[in-house]
Each structure stands twice: as structure tokens, then as C-alpha cells.
Structure 1
Amino acid sequence: MSLRTYGVAALQSKLAVALLLGWATFAQAEPVEIVALGDSLTAGYGLPREDGFVPQMQAWLRARGHDVTVVNAGVSGDTTAGGLSRVDWSLADSTDGMIVTLGGNDLLRGIDPTNSRANLEGILKVAAARNLPVLLVGLRAPENYGPQFKTSFDAIYPELANQYGTLYFPEFFQGLTEGDRRPEDVRAYMQADGIHPNAEGVMRIVAAMGPSVEALIEQVQD
């Protein structure tokens, strides 16, 4: 090999290494994309856009060093049936994981928990077919629906999470109810309708749920 040929080969080799390193850097720079499939609690009903659940969760995660985009796929008034009907087109090729927060409107309408379970299971089947990690966020039925309804509804989320191997966060409002807070303390974090959290309430919800979303990001990156 002549000196000139060796020099060209060395240059080509260095160029190939530089391209590979550049591609690796580009690949590492790709943000994680999480779709939050839900209802008005996810959509940010009654709040300025930046105070809603999705923008606050994204800001919380980014403040902790996660290169993540959280996509707002919340539709006010949506039931689990509505979520199932649109889950396919809510997910893109770029979607890396999904947060599922549905069931509140099923409760408000007194929908049979058997139907709610079937719809949520359908959503998890779509995620499984796409090999998408999921964080399933639960809700608890109030006592006034009766013990049988409450037992059936409350069991949906942990049982499905176990069946489909998803991550599980027991209660969307956990950040408002944990500790020894009295009912009047919780009301301070709610909007006037008593159903949707205000901006400070969302902040507390995000702080409680955030570590579970970090666990979802870890699953995506594994």
C-alpha cells in the first residue's frame, strides 16, 4: 500500500467513525414520546393550557433531566369506550409509551364495571400489539354506588395491570388525598365543580405520579 493510498484509507476510516459517532449522538438525542390517553383530567379542563396535567407533567419530567415529550390525548367527557375507539389513531409511529387515565366518566354515568373493564382491556391489547410500555392510572369508586359496584370497579385497574404486565399507579388523585388531609383540605385543590383539580392540585398530582412516569421512561429506554 502506497503512502497516498494509506492516507486515503485512514481518512475514510476516520470519516466512518465520525459518521457513526454522529449517528449515535443523534439517536441518543431523540426524545421519548409518551401519549397520555384520557379524559378531561388529562385534557386539562378548566385550566390555562400550561397548567393542565400534560404540560405540568412534561415540565416536571424535563426539570429532572428527561428528554421527553408528553402528548395530550385527553378528550373531555370521554369514557373508556371512547378511549378504546380512538386509541389506534392516537398513537403514532413515534410513540414510545402510553399513560392511560380513563374511567372517571364511566363512574359519573354509572356504567357497568364489566363494560369499563372490557374497554380498558381493549386499550391494553392495542398497546401490547405495538409493544408499548403502559402506565395504567387507576380510580376508586365512591361509596354511594354500593359495595358491589365499588368492589368490581376498584379491582379493574390492579387486575388488568397484573394481567398485562403494565406499570400501575393506584389513584389519579393520590397526590391530593395522601397523608392526613381532611376533605376541606382536598377541596382547596379543586375547581368549583368539585371534580377537576385546579392548577395547584394538578401540581400535587404530578408530583405524586411523576416517579411512576419516570419508571415508564426507563422501560422505554431499556
Structure 2
Amino acid sequence: MGRAWMVRHDGRRAALAFLIVSLLMTLVTPLHAQDPVQGAGQARPLTLVALGDSLTAGYGLPAAAAFPVQLEAALRARGHAVTIANAGVSGDTATGGLDRVDWSVPDGTDGVILELGANDMLRGTDPAVTEKALGGIIARLKARGIPVMLAGMRAAPNLGPDYGRRFDALYPRLAERDGLVLYPFFLDGVAGDRSLTLPDGLHPTKDGVARIVAGILPSVETFLARLRKGA
């Protein structure tokens, strides 16, 4: 009698445990279904590298506020399965980027967002030198089968109209020559706005980076669509 009661009691406990697990599964499954990245057609995650200078590195900001981190978060919120590595080096020039591109962009990278040239401009470097170096970076990545999106820069007015015309023209020319997605001016909406820059008047604040991300996001999504199409 006692043994039979124990069997019936254990059976009831097992049935109750099964019901609890089943209930939890019905509650958890909808949460996963609402995950924008999980719902993106189960696409293979893309790995990007942001190759740039202090504007990419996040000069003067916490690591979590840097451009690659904020951009990745914005893309994931829109359902894109993507990770973005920060390969920004403060003070770097286009020539410096060319010197380090091979080890800054690892094998297996799906695409590169190239943001260089601001320091060339601030130093008054001949735009032909900058264009040659950026073209070299693009060529090296192309040889490795890694597509590039180009983030442009514009010359400061104090450098004069002739320099400005030559410098500003190099980014559209490179993009047209190589068929790249181009975001014409990385600091669009931020340059000249002291509420969105650090005290130096050059580097964006956390909110300034957020403004950059909002502006560049459609171009990056176009770039991602190209990567998906070519995959």
C-alpha cells in the first residue's frame, strides 16, 4: 500500500514538472521570435572592420561610445546580424592606414568601412598623396576579396578654395572609380556644432557620434545589402 502510494505520488510530481517546463517553453519562445537579429532570416552574421583615425577610435570617449560600437548597436536594433571591429588609430593618416591595412583587417572580414583622410587635411597634405594611399588600401582589400565602403571628409575652409576643391573631390572620384558605397562627409551634422563636439571643437561627443551613426546608417545598410547579395 505504501509503495503504491509512493509510485502514484512520484508520478504526479513528474507530471507537474513536465507541465511547468512546457509552460516555460511557451513563454520563452515568443521572446526569441521577437529578437530582431534572430528574425532576420537567420542570415549568417557579417563581420565588418571600421578602419580609421581618432573619429573611428573614439578619441576622448568611453569605449562603449565609439563609432563602431554605436553603429553595431543601431544596426542590430534594425535586425542586422553584424559585428564591427574598431580598427581606428588616433592621429593616423591615409598613408598610415595603408601601412597597417594588412594586419588591421584580418582574414574572414566581410567588409570594411574606410574612414581616413581627416589628419591629412589638417596637416595640409597634398590631396594627391591622400588619394593614392586610399586607393592603395582599397586595392589591397579588393585583392583579398574584401569590399569597402568609403566615408568621406571635407576640407576646412581655412585651407583655401583650391585645396578644398582638390581634397573634397578625391572621395567621390575613388568611389566612382571602384564602384563603392560612399557616405560623402563623415562629420555631417556634427562639424561646427559645439554642442556635439569635445572642447577641441574637432572630435564628436557621445551624442555627436550618435548623430554620425544616424546619418551614415542608410549608407551602411546599402553596403550590407551588397555584401549579402555577393555572399
Question: What's the TM-score once normalised by structure 1's chain length?
Answer: 0.82
**2:134, 2:80 → 1: CA distance?**
28
- 1:115 pairs with one of 120, 129, 144: 129
Structure 1 unaligned residues grouped into runs of 5+: 1-27, 178-182
3-state SS, counterpart of residue 86 of structure 2? strand
Larger-gyration structure (1/2): 2
- 1:188 pairs with one of 195, 201, 204: 195
3-state SS, counterpart of residue 189 of structure 2? helix
**1:202, 1:110 → 2: CA distance?**
25
Alpha-carbon RMSD: 1.4
**Corresponding position of 1:154:** 168
**Corresponding position of 2:217:** 210
**2:204, 2:160 → 1: CA distance?**
25
- What aligned pairs does 1:72-221 form with structure 2 within 5 A after superposition? 72-176=86-190, 183=192, 186-221=193-228
Question: What's the TM-score once normalised by structure 2's chain length?
Answer: 0.79
Q: Which runs of 4+ in 1 moved over 6 A?
A: none
- Do the aligned residues in 2 keep the contact of 1:175 with 1:209 (CA within 8 Å)? no
Matched, 1:33 2:40: no
- In structure 2, relative to structure 1, the CA distance for the partners of 1:61 and 1:190 (3 Å cut) is same
Q: How far apart are 1:126 and its partner, in Å?
A: 1.1
Q: How far apart are 1:29 and its partner, in Å?
A: 5.2
Q: How far apart are 1:89 and its partner, in Å?
A: 1.1
**1:80, 1:56 → 2: CA distance?**
24
3-state SS, counterpart of residue 174 of structure 1? coil
Percent identity of equivalent pairs: 52
Deviates more, 1:85-94 or 1:165-174: 85-94
Higher RCO by CA contacts (8 Å cutoff, separation 6 or greater)? 1
3-state SS, counterpart of residue 139 of structure 1? coil
Deviates more, 1:63-72 or 1:129-138: 129-138
**2:157, 2:198 → 1: CA distance?**
22
Q: How far apart are 1:134 and its partner, in Å?
A: 1.4
Q: What per-residue deviation string (whole Å, max 9, x for no partner) do you get for residues 23-74 of structure 1? A: xxxxx55310011000000000000111111110010000101110001000
- Aligned residue pairs total 189
Q: What per-residue deviation string (whole Å, max 9, x for no partner) do you get for residues 77-112 of structure 1? A: 100011000111112222000100001110111111
- Amino acid of the structure 2 residue aligned with 1:122: G
- Amino acid of the structure 1 residue aligned with 2:226: Q
